Structure 1
Amino acid sequence: MAKWGEGDPRWIVEERADSHNVNNWHWKEVDANKWSEKKLKELLEGMVVEDGPYQFELQKDLKVNGESMASNRKNKLIAYWDYSLELKFKLKHKGNEVESKGTIKCPNFSQENDPDEWDLTSTKYDKDEHYDAEGLKFIKAKAHPVMRDKMEEYGKLLRSDFAASVCQVTAANTPTKSAQSITTNMKKVELNKPVEAKKSTTTKTSGSQIKTKKLLLKETFMCTVAEVYNVFIDKQRVNAWTRGAMQSYNPDKNGEFVLFGGVVTGSFVELEQDKKIVMKWRLRHWPAAHFSTASMAFEQTDKGAKMTLEQSGVPESDIERTKQGWKEFYWNPIKFTFGFGITV
């Protein structure tokens, strides 16, 4: 046994008047959205690429949609971002002084994708087909690689500069996503405009016909199958990744659960240790008494724990909204909270 004052300093508990999180042993999370938008603008806006007869320049009107966060748990830093980007550009041909404008979009700028997997798509406004072909060829060959380098630099800075600042967070800085904010955001997801789905089936609920569709999602967590399975079974872990938005949770067969202020409710149908979880699952605004069947299957791979979610009985008009909800309120918070995403 270590003597008083010796041993791993992370285990030394101090009574502090300022409630400081000593050595950052407890979970902390910081919203990186404002920092990220500013940094991406610094890196991308005004970027110029010149080669041969062409001069390419990104304009100062970057549009950023998505989220980024940094967290610290047990002194382990984690950075995460998932954005879609849209920028306008000018392309000038020096020989004839012709200048055209266009847009570059990247819908999958995320740390989960490698730089060469970020989809950069360029379109131009002018109608000169030959000039379009040559100009866009130049943009793809010369401008896109420079943009990827800048975007990759953002990821490095998020980890080295911003995420490192998480170590300085004190109790005075409250976590970004509290139970109240998550519940509020879940309500916003409920109210989003429905997206029509195809290849639907019809389910009869309480005498009414409901068109439904099947949802298939796959997600990889950087951990073991046992660890991610327990995230859905252990009540303390569930309370952690829902940020306290767990009203009730009974992880046994036929046990019921209520999450996010009642936005999500259901019950467990089947539990197979480290292999499968089957639930009856619904969103509050769905037709009364209508439940989908959500089945999670777990598989260990060389990249981590792979989870496949098959969900049948999702109302046709709610398929995209439900897909968004799984990612925003399940997968991402789990990765943030337990370090099952990217580590710095």
Structure 2
Amino acid sequence: MARIGDGDKRWIVEDRPDGTNVHNWHWAETDCLDWSRNYLSNLLSGKPILSGDGNLYLRIKTLQKLDGEAYVNVRKGKIIPGYELNLILTYEAEARDSDGTSVILSTEGSVEIPYISDENAGEDPEIKITIKDDGPIGRRLKDAFVAKGKPFVLEKVREYVDVMAKGGPAKDELEVKKVGAKKPSSAAAATATATATASNVMDDNTGNNKDVSVKESKKKEEKRKEGFKTIKMSEKFSCRARDLYEILMDENRWKGFTQSNAQISKEVGGEFSIFDGSVTGTNVELQEGELIVQNWRFGSWPDGIVSKVRLTFEEPESGVTTVKLIHTDVPEEDRYGNSTVVENTERGWRDLIFHRIRAMFGFGI
């Protein structure tokens, strides 16, 4: 957006004297990290997990740590949450004798969720549970927390994710208005139909049937593409094209720079699974050091939606490679109604793939 006084005035949105962000036209960003810390602490701290079942007592003690970033962007009523959080909880664990009167073991443990992200909003995150006492009774207490405490913690995380998708702390401040397109009156519809019919008849009489078919075909194609976007990116690396191709097609290297599980076939028609299974697909076309074409599907997308990834590798000079990405048919919303798919996918390519390759292998320019 141009600054006031610069650029074409048609693209400038001037500030109002009263400071009002009318209909959220401007980008409005709310920092949600402190709010997230308080919200999750209220959901989890001090909550009992077991209260005597099997003479075991488990209680979440406190939210020890919540680091990372969390924010909500809003523009023109569109909510775009973003968060990458690392969460650590502590819990108290106690085992009593068969009478339930004497304490056999009293210890503590921790619960860590290393990566809560808007990119994986539709999936339960990885969760790590530990306990200080590693003896038989301690392991029994840990197993009890895995069985009872883990589902409880994940339920509260899902609650947080749902609240963020609705605007988090900015929800009450939003001027979200969904304005539906007005349906034409029956008289207007009849007029439009009559006009279209007359137009078709005139085209028939003048031999323009072919033009009408082309226009109808274009309209159908535009209709089919509604709700989908294309992502285009170009990145430059200080390495050979075949080296970068190999990194992207080798599952062990994927595991290394993404720190997540991956299974990748190097054959055309072969399947792949990356980012702990959150993305799956098949290889459509492969040319070593030159081209990768794949079908990609995210687990959080609506059923039946598959996008296409096309990566071309160009080596304009020895030791310098340009990768051009075209990612088509990316849905604007996931199966849960979150409208951040395109933004998250683009950010994932940039931050979780290209930038991490640079950091891991030193291919930066």
Given the two structures, how large is their TM-score scaled by the length of structure 1? Answer: 0.50
The structure with the largest alpha-carbon Rg is 2
